[in-house]
Chains A and B, each alone.
Chain A
Amino acid sequence: NAGVMQNPRHLVRRRGQEARLRCSPMKGHSHVYWYRQLPEEGLKFMVYLQKENIIDESGMPKERFSAEFPKEGPSILRIQQVVRGDSAAYFCASSPPGHRETQYFGPGTRLLVL
């Protein structure tokens, strides 16, 4: 059973470009969470999604950030017009039905904005 998959593992963007981060949850998992980790910091919750629904986006910046989890395909975290402050590691986690809090993390995408 493959774990949570994320790609790309590393992403370099120039200021003003768009970043698209993908996450495929573990097989059978219906909940997806996105977290951001700044250097030497803990993880900060961004958004919680189920298939075709955003359940909680209270941790998402109000502008430039969006997330989706379509019926088919991976979950996508999209950052428009990136700025240097967006440089961080972005982690996706998934959890099985009925156990939202038991979250398994992917390897992360390290975004560097030049």
Chain B
Amino acid sequence: QQQVKQSPQSLIVQKGGISIINCAYENTAFDYFPWYQQFPGKGPALLIAIRPDVSEKKEGRFTISFNKSAKQFSLHIMDSQPGDSATYFCAASKGGSQGNLIFGKGTKLSVKP
């Protein structure tokens, strides 16, 4: 059972456009939702994260939108640049004694110049 579903699998955007990646989750116990960026041959890098008590969080060109009732959250990359071309992963975590992240399968973003 896939607990975090991510779409699309791949995305092509023109330079300057908006990239949108969506994730949906099932478990209402999740209380932390980060996004990671991964370049080929590198480890995932934490981009931005949100908790369910807010509906939106913005850091520079990156924005997370969170819809608690729909159990969905999305990453928006404004003014997309070729250097943003990477694989993006959403994840979710429960609190308590755990904290391990459950990842989506990833979205490969390609920004065309």
Contact = CB atoms under 8 A, between A and B. Distances in A.
A7 interface: no
Interface residues of B, number: 23
A33 B93 CA distance: 13
A44 B93 CA distance: 13
B99 A101 contact: yes
A101 B93 contact: yes
A86 B42 CA distance: 19
Interface in B9-49: 32, 34, 36, 42-46, 49
B43 A107 contact: yes
Given A105-B43, A105-B44, A106-B43, A48 B100 contact: yes
B42 A107 contact: yes
Given A42-B106, A102-B49, A104-B46, A48 B89 contact: no
Contacts of A4: 43
Contact of B100 (A33, A102, A104, A106): A33
A12 interface: no
B101 A103 contact: yes
Given A45-B101, A101-B101, A91 B43 contact: yes
A31 interface: yes
Contacts of B73: none
Contacts, number: 64
Contacts of A95: 99
Interface in B66-113: 89, 93, 95, 97-106
Contact of B98 (A35, A56, A103): A56
Contact of B43 (A59, A100, A102, A108): A108
Contacts of B49: 102
A105 B46 CA distance: 8
Interface of A: 4, 6, 31, 33, 35, 40-45, 48, 55-56, 59, 91, 93, 95, 100-108
Interface of B: 6, 32, 34, 36, 42-46, 49, 89, 93, 95, 97-106
Given A95-B99, A108-B43, 7 more contacts: A41-B106, A43-B44, A48-B98, A101-B101, A104-B46, A105-B36, A105-B43
